[in-house]
Each structure stands twice: as C-alpha cells, then as structure tokens.
Amino acid sequence: MIRWWWVRHGPTRQKALAGWRDVPADLSDTPRLERLAAALPEGAPVISSDLARAVATADAIAGPRPRLPHAPALREIHFGKWEGLTHDEIAARDPALSRRYWEEPGEIAPPGGESWNAAAERVARFVAGMNARHRDADIIAVAHFGVILTQVQQALAITPQQALAHRIDPLSLTRLDWDGRRWEARMINHHP
C-alpha cells in the first residue's frame, strides 16, 4: 500500500490565476502549519512542486522528514496567456474559450497553456513512477489545486468536471491510497 498525503500549498492572496507564475505563499499561520505537520506521518519523504509557494510550504511542514528533490511535474496547470489574469479579464479576452475551458474541462487548453487532460497525464506519469520506486510507503506531496484534483479524479474514477466540484483549500490535506490495483480516497480537503 502506498499512501499519498497531498498538501495544497499555503494561500497566495492572488486574485489572478497563478499557474506556473512563481508567487509566494503566506505562511504566517504558524499554528495551522504545526497542526498540519503533526497530522502527517513521521519519517515519510516530502516532495513538492518546484514553484516557490509549494517549496516554502513543504519546507515549513517537513521538520526532520527527508526532503526529495523538487518536482516540476507537480506544477499547477499551465494557464498560458491567462497566467496573471483574473477570471473576469479572461472572460473578457476569450469569452467562448474560457467558458468552455471551465465548463467542459478535458482537452480544451488556454492559449499557450495546457488542457486538464494534459496536466492530469503529466501528474499521473510522475505518481506512477514514484509508486514504482516507493512500495509500501507514505509520500507527502505539496502541490497545487489542479494537481491534487487530477489525482482525486483518478482515485474516484470521475470526470474532470466532477473533480472540479471538489474544494481543495490552501493548507488542506487529501489522502489517496494505492494498493497496486486501484486507488482509494481516504480524505479530501481535510483541515487538521
């Protein structure tokens, strides 16, 4: 059994899409970080996206746990030319495309960005590789809203649209277990 402990990075206070932009996380809520760290398995390796908000969050909760190299495969969905824009700005710029992107997630991609399915494939390849190297282990992964939801989609065998209906709050914990044949969602968007 491999137990993935997915942690969403700390809040960014951004009103625009962050995607692959390297924006910092607000990690000022020390008691919350301490509760989160205490809820995670001792001795489990910690890996994170290579974006600053995930790296800083991983560093804040790792404690004595081993830190694995940062993983670009765990980056948020790449929003291309929509990065740094608010939802209203995106809707004004690309009204039909933006509506379809959020209402029919799957193969639709923002200009210069990646689709839900492309991001899900990227993350799934990484997770499968980690599963092959870490049998019967706990893995703590600090990542992003979209990344975690792609894994929730896989674990629950639901559509991207159904996955997007789930909340994944900053500093929340989602645990997904892999028994070698199937996934099981043990908790989603938990707040220790």
Name the pTM for this structure: 0.96
To the nearest whole percent, how much of the chain has pLDDT over 70? 100
- What phi and psi, each to the nearest 5 degrees, are found at residue 74? -95, 10
10 near 168, Cβ under 8 Å? Answer: no
Largest CA distance in the chain: 49
Cα distance between residue 143 and residue 106, in whole Å? 20
Cα distance between residue 171 and residue 192, in whole Å? 9
Q: What is the average pLDDT score of the chain? A: 97
- What phi and psi, each to the nearest 5 degrees, are found at residue 7? -120, 130
Q: Using the 8-state DSSP alphabet, how is residue 82 labeled?
A: G
Cα distance between residue 1 and residue 154, in whole Å? 16
Q: Where are the domains of the chain?
A: 2-190
- Window from 110-114, 131-135, 175-179 with minimum mean pLDDT: 131-135
Say if residue 181's pLDDT is above 90.
Answer: yes
Query: Class for domain 2-190, per CATH?
Result: alpha beta
Cα distance between residue 66 and residue 47, in whole Å? 9
Cα distance between residue 191 and residue 35, in whole Å? 9
